[in-house]
Amino acid sequence: MIRTIILGYLKYQPMTGYDLKQNLDHSISHFWHAHHSQIYTTLRKMEEEGLVTSEIIPQNGSPDRRVYTITPAGRKEVEDWLNQPMTTASTIKEEFLVRIFFSAERDPQEVIAELILQRKLHEEKLHVYLQLQEHLQNKIQKEFPQLARDVTFWLSTLRMGMRFEKMYMEWLDETLNEIQRLNEQK
Amino acid sequence: MIRTIILGYLKYQPMTGYDLKQNLDHSISHFWHAHHSQIYTTLRKMEEEGLVTSEIIPQNGSPDRRVYTITPAGRKEVEDWLNQPMTTASTIKEEFLVRIFFSAERDPQEVIAELILQRKLHEEKLHVYLQLQEHLQNKIQKEFPQLARDVTFWLSTLRMGMRFEKMYMEWLDETLNEIQRLNEQK
DNA sequence: ACCTCCATGTAAACTGTTACATGATTCA
DNA sequence: TGAATCATGTAACAGTTTACATGGAGGT
């Protein structure tokens, strides 16, 4: 997956591993996170496979920048992937739900404290998404009108992020109430 | 993670790798999926580490069953994990959002078709959750009253699943409308 | 005759995370 | 003086997926 994401970005313009990491961290990382180590090694591997080429740009002081450019073969790989529709619903991996699943015997007060903490964390995420949305709408869309169509799609994924966080918070509230009720019954 | 999940299950009763797989497939797999190969190898590793013990139960015909039992050290591992509250919001990996993120240049009709297919798939998932909910409420909860408290927590995770699928469907509808609008403008 | 279920495993490949490692510049 | 940013990489490990492999029992 990270290969496709890198290629998808390089379709816009040549970039270094560092640039890619910066870009990811403010966009796709919200639904597909990657460490810089993975990005650098994947870029090297893709260069061997002829999907990207690289050129070293010397810097005054500090390490040289290695700028990667997508090749026609690289373009083909992303496009083939995009043209092959997804026929399954993606499976999620949600550690917090695993915890709740096995929490029946835990001290309810500790479970409640954990739910409250999660609520705070998800609220913060929602806040980040709201700011990103504003940034996309008020800066990117105006400064780069040629990206208008792309921004529409980026905003869609952001709206999913916001829906997700709101839904998560509602569920946390619901679960909190339920555990409190369970506690009072005894 | 799969280690903890296995231990969490073995706390209820001794089980074989096969049993674990069956159980997972109808519960936790909705938010943490595992293949049988991983379960079998993890069980072996955990036996070496003293977290579980195994006993072979011969079958008439067909392979023997290897039944795993949790040890005190195993119990401690799950409990320690549960007592250490989670202090981050889990990061999601949602392949479909990656696709949407990079879909600006795709043929809108194909994107729309893919959204419609996803909608169907998520509707089916919701349906499965509804059936599981009914099963938990009307069978398990009545046949095993000693599990009442556990069932409450299991139902909570199911409700998250249902909220998630509903939210996803709403987002798909929203996105579908938006792409259609985008298309008509041109 | 064929499919599904029961039941177990190994091996290889792929993917992802954590830790180690360096070093200049800029800002508080 | 110390932290953050720019900029790159390697190595070891952990976790996950895919493919290969076997074979009886019971139902259609």
Q: Across the interface, do A8 and B101 touch by the CB < 8 Å criterion?
A: yes
Quick one: A179 and A99 in the same domain?
yes
Tens of pLDDT, residues B117-150: 999 999 999 999 999 999 999 888 888 899 999 9
Geometric angle at alpha carbon B99, from A139 and B171, rounded to 5°? 75
pLDDT value, residue A129: 93
Pair B75, B117 in one domain: no
Same structural domain, A76 and A154: no
Are B115 and B179 within 8 A, CB to CB? yes
Share of chain B above pLDDT 90, in %: 87
Q: How far apart are CA A178 and CA A66, in angstroms?
A: 54
Tell me: pLDDT of B73 over 70.
yes
The larger pLDDT score, comparing residue A61 to residue B45, is at B45
Confidence of residue B186 (pLDDT cuts 50, 70, 90): low
CB atoms within 10 A of CB A167: 19
In terms of Cα–Cα distance, which of A153, A160, A157 is closest to A12?
A153
Any idea which of A151-165, B47-61, B81-95 has the lowest mean pLDDT? Answer: B47-61
With tokens 């074989």, the residue in question is: B16
Are B102 and A78 within 8 A, CB to CB?
yes
Task: Name the domain count of chain A.
Answer: 2
Whole-number Å distance between alpha carbons of B164 and A163: 9
- Calculate mean pLDDT across residues B50-68: 87
Torsion sign, CA atoms A36, A39, A40, A42: positive
Higher pLDDT, A63 or A55: A55
What pLDDT, on a 0 to 100 scale, did the predictor assign at position B91?
A: 87
A123 close contact with B: CB closer than 8 A = no
| Rounded-to-integer distance, Cα A175 and Cα A100, Å | 10
- Nearest protein residue to nucleotide D23 (CA to C1' distance) is B62
Residue A51: inside a domain, yes or no?
Answer: yes
SS3 call for B57 = strand
**A68, containing H or E segment:** strand A65-70
Is residue A33's pLDDT more than 80?
A: yes
State chain A's mean pLDDT as an integer: 93
| Domain identity same for A16 and A54 | yes
Residue A163 has pLDDT above 80, yes or no: yes
> Which one of A34, A59, A83 terminates a domain?
A83
What pLDDT shows up at residue A42?
Answer: 96
In Å, what is the separation between the CA of B38 and the C1' of C12? 14
* Percent of chain B's residues with pLDDT above 70: 98
A58 touches strand D (CB under 7 A): no
Which of B53, B83, B113 marks a domain boundary? B83
What are B111-126's pLDDT values in tens digits? 999 999 999 999 999 9
Residue where a domain stops, chosen among A56, A83, A110:
A83
- Strand C bases within 7 angstroms of protein beta carbons: 6-12, 15-20, 22-25
Q: Is residue B26 part of a domain?
A: yes
- Predicted confidence (pLDDT) per residue in A67-117, tens digit: 999 999 999 999 999 999 999 998 889 999 999 999 999 999 999 999 999
Residues A146 and A114 in one domain: yes
**CA–CA separation, B180 and A176 (whole Å):** 40
The pLDDT of B161-181, averaged and rounded, is 97
Instruction: Tell me what pLDDT residue A186 has.
Output: 60
Query: Residue B61 pLDDT more than 70?
Result: no
Q: What is the CA radius of gyration of chain A?
A: 21
A59 in the same domain as A103: no
Residue B174 lies in a domain: yes
- Residue B141: give the domain boundaries: 95-185
Q: Which of residues 1-20 of B touch A (CB under 8 A)?
A: 1, 4-5, 8, 11
Phi-psi region of A63 (alpha: psi -120 to 50; beta: other; left: phi over 0): beta
A103/B contact by beta carbon, under 8 A:
yes
- Strand B15-16 with A52-57, pairing: unpaired
DSSP symbols for B119-158: HHHHHHHHHHHHHHHHHIIIIIHHH-GGGHHHHHHHHHHH
**pLDDT at position A61:** 63
pLDDT at B64 over 70: yes
pLDDT of residue A141: 81
Residue A33 covered by a domain: yes
Per-residue pLDDT tens digits for A124-137: 999 999 999 998 99
Residue closest to A96 by CA, chosen among A175, A185, A23, A26: A175
Could you tell me which residue, B32 or A62, shows the higher pLDDT? B32
**Residue B79 belongs to domain with CATH number:** 1.10.10.10
Residue A27 lies in a domain: yes
Angstrom distance, B38 CA to D15 C1': 9
Shared domain for A116 and A157, answered yes or no, is yes
Name the average pLDDT for chain B. 93
H-helix or E-strand spanning residue A53: strand A52-57
**Contact between B97 and A31 using a beta-carbon 8 Å cutoff:** yes
Count of other CB atoms within 10 angstroms of residue B135: 12
